[in-house]
Amino acid sequence: MIYYNVWFSFNSTADESEELSKVLSFLQNLKKRNLIAGFETRRLEGPERFHVRITFVDDDQFAKPFAEVAKLGVHGGSHGMMIKQVTAFRVSTERE
């Protein structure tokens, strides 16, 4: 299993509920298309208000959504809409 962790916040002018809905919609779409195995989200205190942990079964599955985003451009498509209001962004990857 591969875990892709993302910590982030939204810009101060953004509607958190609306923007979080975009994140969840993006991830649900990836799951529906079997591009991720699953995900979980949680709210945090501090500069990074949210944590998303995305699960992949193997390297092949891990590569597919990143290739899709690269093809459309990081600011294109639903990924671009999802990250438009994101700030304080950091990631890490874990393997089990």
What values do phi and psi take at 95, rounded to 5? -120, 140
Per-residue pLDDT reduced to its tens digit, 8-34: 999 999 999 999 999 999 999 999 999
Question: pLDDT tens across 50-81, in order?
Answer: 999 999 999 999 999 999 988 988 878 878 87
Q: Which residue has the tokens 């500069």?
A: 47
Which structural domains are found in the chain, ordered by start? 2-95 (3.30.70.100)
- In a 10 Å sphere around its CB, with 0-12 CB exposed, 13-18 middle and 19+ buried, how is residue 19 labelled? buried
The two tokens of residue 33 are 């298309």
